[in-house]
């Protein structure tokens, strides 16, 4: 890559001069970052060419990972580490009078995702490259991402995330690989000499233009590609008549309508225009991705279609890419001339589906009329898949009609994308043991009854190189000094740390590392939130997307209760604790936005009440992202994973906190179940209803929130304070939240779990006082966290689904 430090300096200076027209010394810091990133990206692309050559030489099977989100975060620090040149670059920049860490801070997170789904996809493509597989991401290049979150008077305000404002040095536009994608139009039947075929004509063609971002695996030996698609006009359609009459908006309407397809992640779909835009997004990146796969395959293997499943695996990340199967079949039949049986065999043996949640909004359903009008030829194939499925459906079961109703692709005027994904794929997996069991028992139980062999579990994982080695350098150094550096590539090596469980000197170093991280986070919190926190307090942290089932509300109720006890009883003794929140609420999700407002209103009252005397502090970190998450995870003492049991598919934040030595306070939900099994019940704090009991309550309709409210005076006082003015100074009262837990009968069992949660938290705070015991528990969590490396998950996909 670089012969030595001097070679790097010369290439860096040359690129500054050629790209900016001036010497390094006259470049701003942001320009210096940009050129450095361009230089590393250039080297990555060179290595990518060698990776492609090796892949072809060895006949390596390719994996294409389709996801609406790729939350890749900042890349410069990660890629310098993966290429093994961080120290050399740091020293070279120091010689040039520049600070590498300052350049890292110049990088803007790419606006390509929202939460766990997108970060998981990013971890997976990192592990694919690090393990030497030929695995490529296929997604969307959003112009504005989700949104930048700002807190104004306690309220979430959404601002455009203009992450491309200064350009993106990692991407390369590939217009020669653009794909024409069609919406609307008509399907025309042709017949000649007794043969008939169909063409899709007219409508609104657009161009899907790819932008390629290199994916550098650890060690720098394999570089794959994340291909992101941007919508552009197929041809310029400028309305001169509208312009001449002064209607300038109408003159540019076509371009604006097309570019809107890839403008924002997850446009609101509460009305038909938003639904149509969302469907356009999903079809565009699927159609472009499938076309790209087939184009590459033909270039390498010609028309050898029957061996396609042996050479290509397509993984769909949730239901957003569910149109992969009908689109692949459409092209194979309409454009390549294959018959249905051959095309179906190719598609169904190549495509597999990961379900990520049981929430209804993630199991998308499209009105048939809307779908057929927008994608008429694709609908033909969806309809044919459904027809053949019904025709071949086994009718030898007593309940076959019920099973067919549950599993048909088309039903009640809707296209059911989860059903399409299961029917058309050869494998279906959940992402944690409990989640997969829930899929089998309820969400997809009829499919499981019919095709049990399709179902398997692949517990999620995270890339430990980013979220431990990169995010927590002091802990990473302690680990390497103690057990060597093999853990970078084999995360199970972390278990060797358990030999130090009784080593007081090691535990002291572990505690010192944690405190350094808490000091850093305290400074960050003061900078972005204006709240001064004590790094010697317990850091109790909950960071994740705001949603009712994730129960940030339960956490806030705990803080309100503790505040009430402090105010009413001056002798009440509580260990100083800092409660930290971060996360975004969807733009149209008023309840979640009200909970954010409540967090900030409670912070306003608690932090400014002299009676509290700093015993508790509340801080909200705005605009949660991969980059600030890397400040947060290493500093946590307590990891709040308190979702309603049975609702969280897996969670990955729990793994990141665990890997950095935080103790989980959680329900038996998602991957908390596996964490508990790995570390043992004495090294995790579990509370609350189990998923089976919650399901029983829902089935029998015998849970009454008012009973909890009336029977617990402390809880009743907390709920009453939502509307009695206690926390209204900043932004008003919280009637919506009160109605949700009382009039809405507490759908996610916040009141029911409150006392159990409070008892568990108090026990954890008590244990924290025994520093040796706490540090031992922390060490056990770190030592057992290697299981949650995404390398392990990808190896399981590779061996059990993709057959690599």
What are the catalytic residues? 356, 544-545, 550, 652, 656
Phi, psi of 266 (to 5 degrees): 55, 70
Q: List, as one string, the DSSP characters of 428-494.
A: EEESSHHHHHHIIIIITHHHHHH-GGGEEE----B-HIIIIIIT-HHHHHHHHHHH-SGGGT-GGGG
Residue corresponding to tokens 């926390």: 727
Which residues, 6+ apart, have CB-to-CB distance to 141 below 8 Å? 112, 171, 211, 228, 229, 230, 262
* Structure tokens, 676: 């508990």
Q: List, as one string, the DSSP characters of 727-753.
A: T-TTT---HHHHHHHTTT--TT-HHHH
CA distance 753 to 760: 11
**Do residues 579 and 559 lie in contact, with contact meaning Cβ atoms separated by under 8 Å?**
yes
Torsion of Cα atoms, 689 then 461 then 803 then 54, to 10°: 170
How are beta strands 148-152 and 428-430 bridged, if at all? unpaired
Side-chain-facing half-sphere of 421: CA atoms under 13 Å: 26
Side-chain-facing half-sphere of 761: CA atoms under 13 Å: 26
CA distance 100 to 95: 11
CA 707 to chain CA centroid, Å, is: 37
Q: How many CB atoms neighbour CB 183 within 10 A? A: 20
CA distances from 452 to 402, 408, 437 (A): 17, 17, 12
**Do residues 82 and 470 lie in contact, with contact meaning Cβ atoms separated by under 8 Å?**
no
**Do residues 156 and 583 lie in contact, with contact meaning Cβ atoms separated by under 8 Å?**
no
Phi, psi of 444 (to 5 degrees): -120, 30
* Structure tokens, 689: 């209803």
**Do residues 620 and 668 lie in contact, with contact meaning Cβ atoms separated by under 8 Å?**
no
Q: How many CB atoms neighbour CB 271 within 10 A? A: 8
Kindly give the interhelix angle for 713-720 and 750-768, rounded to the nearest 10 degrees.
Answer: 110
If phi over 0 gives left and psi between -120 and 50 gives alpha, with beta otherwise, what is residue 21?
left
Helices in 115-224 by DSSP H: which ranges?
A: 116-130
Q: Which helix (H) or strand (E) holds 224?
A: strand 223-233
Residue corresponding to tokens 């407002």: 597
**Do residues 314 and 293 lie in contact, with contact meaning Cβ atoms separated by under 8 Å?**
yes
Q: Could you give the 3-state DSSP secondary structure of residue 412?
A: coil
Q: What is the 3-state secondary structure (H, E, C) of 385-403?
A: HHHHHHHCCCCCCCCHHHH
CA distance 66 to 121: 9
């Amino acid at each position: 890559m670089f012969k030595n430090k001097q070679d790097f300096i010369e290439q860096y200076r040359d690129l500054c001069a050629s790209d900016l027209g001036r010497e390094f010394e006259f470049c701003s810091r942001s320009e210096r970052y940009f050129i450095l990133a361009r230089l590393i990206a250039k080297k990555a692309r060179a290595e990518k060419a060698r990776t492609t050559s090796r892949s072809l030489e060895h006949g390596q099977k390719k994996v294409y990972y389709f996801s609406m989100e790729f939350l890749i975060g900042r890349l410069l620090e990660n890629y310098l580490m993966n290429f093994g040149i961080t120290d050399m670059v740091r020293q070279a920049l120091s010689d040039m009078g520049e600070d590498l860490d300052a350049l890292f801070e110049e990088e803007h997170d790419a606006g390509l995702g929202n939460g766990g789904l997108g970060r998981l996809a990013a971890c997976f493509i990192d592990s694919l490259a690090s393990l030497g597989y030929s695995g490529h991401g296929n997604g969307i290049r959003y112009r504005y991402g989700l949104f930048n979150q700002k807190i104004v008077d306690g309220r979430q305000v959404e601002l455009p995330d203009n992450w491309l404002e200064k350009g993106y040095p990692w991407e390369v536009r590939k217009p020669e690989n653009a794909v024409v994608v069609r919406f609307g139009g008509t399907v025309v039947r042709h017949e000649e000499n007794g043969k008939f075929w169909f063409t899709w004509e007219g409508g609104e063609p657009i161009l899907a233009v790819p932008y390629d971002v290199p994916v550098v695996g650890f060690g720098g030996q394999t570089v794959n590609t994340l291909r992101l698609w941007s919508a552009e006009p197929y041809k310029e359609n400028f309305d001169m008549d509208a312009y001449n009459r002064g209607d300038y908006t109408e003159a540019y309407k076509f371009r604006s309508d097309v570019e809107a397809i890839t403008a924002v992640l997850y446009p609101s779909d509460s009305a038909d225009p938003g639904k149509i835009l969302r469907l356009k997004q999903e079809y565009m990146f699927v159609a472009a991705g499938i076309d790209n796969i087939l184009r590459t395959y033909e270039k390498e293997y010609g028309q050898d279609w029957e061996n396609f499943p042996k050479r290509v695996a397509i993984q769909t990340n949730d239901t957003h890419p569910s149109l992969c199967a009908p689109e692949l079949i459409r092209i194979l039949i309409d454009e390549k001339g294959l018959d249905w049986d051959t095309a179906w065999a190719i598609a169904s043996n190549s495509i597999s589906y990961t379900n990520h949640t049981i929430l209804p909004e993630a199991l998308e359903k499209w009105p048939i009329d809307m779908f057929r009008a927008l994608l008429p030829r694709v609908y033909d194939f969806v309809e044919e898949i459904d027809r053949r499925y019904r025709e071949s459906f086994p009718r030898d079961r007593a309940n076959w009609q019920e099973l067919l109703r549950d599993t048909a692709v088309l039903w009640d005027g809707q296209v059911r994308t989860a059903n399409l994904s299961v029917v058309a794929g050869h494998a279906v997996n959940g992402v944690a043991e409990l989640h997969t069991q829930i899929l089998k028992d309820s969400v997809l139980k009829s499919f499981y009854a019919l095709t049990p062999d399709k179902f398997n579990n692949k517990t999620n994982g995270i890339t430990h190189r980013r979220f431990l080695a990169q995010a927590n350098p002091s802990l990473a150094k302690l680990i390497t000094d103690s057990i060597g550096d093999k853990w970078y590539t084999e995360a199970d090596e972390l278990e060797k740390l358990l030999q130090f469980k009784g080593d007081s000197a090691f535990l002291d170093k572990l505690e010192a590392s944690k405190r350094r991280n808490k000091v850093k986070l305290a400074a960050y919190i003061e900078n972005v939130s204006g709240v001064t926190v004590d790094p010697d307090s317990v850091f109790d942290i909950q960071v994740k997307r705001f949603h009712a089932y994730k129960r940030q509300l339960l956490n806030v109720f705990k803080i309100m209760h503790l505040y009430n006890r402090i105010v009413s009883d001056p002798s009440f003794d509580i260990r100083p604790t800092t409660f930290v929140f971060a996360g975004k609420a969807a733009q149209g999700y008023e309840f979640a936005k009200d909970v954010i407002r409540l967090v900030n209103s409670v912070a306003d009252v608690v932090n400014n009440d002299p009676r509290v005397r700093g015993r508790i502090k509340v801080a909200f970190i705005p605009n949660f992202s991969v980059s600030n998450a890397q400040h947060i995870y290493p500093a946590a003492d307590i990891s709040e994973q308190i979702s309603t049991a049975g609702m969280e598919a897996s969670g990955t934040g729990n793994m990141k906190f665990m890997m950095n030595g935080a103790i989980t306070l959680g329900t038996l939900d998602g991957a908390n179940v596996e964490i508990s099994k790995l570390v043992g019940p004495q090294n995790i704090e579990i509370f609350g209803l189990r998923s089976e009991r919650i399901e029983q309550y829902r089935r029998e309709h015998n849970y009454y929130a008012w009973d909890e409210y009336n029977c617990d005076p402390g809880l009743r006082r907390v709920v009453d304070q939502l509307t009695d003015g206690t926390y209204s100074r900043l932004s008003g009262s919280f009637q919506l939240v009160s109605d949700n837990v009382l009039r809405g009968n507490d759908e996610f069992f916040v009141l029911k779990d409150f006392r159990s949660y409070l008892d568990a938290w108090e026990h954890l705070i008590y244990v924290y006082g025994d520093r040796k015991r706490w540090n031992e528990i922390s060490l056990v969590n770190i030592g057992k966290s290697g299981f949650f490396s995404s390398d392990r998950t990808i190896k399981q996909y590779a061996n059990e689904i993709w057959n690599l």
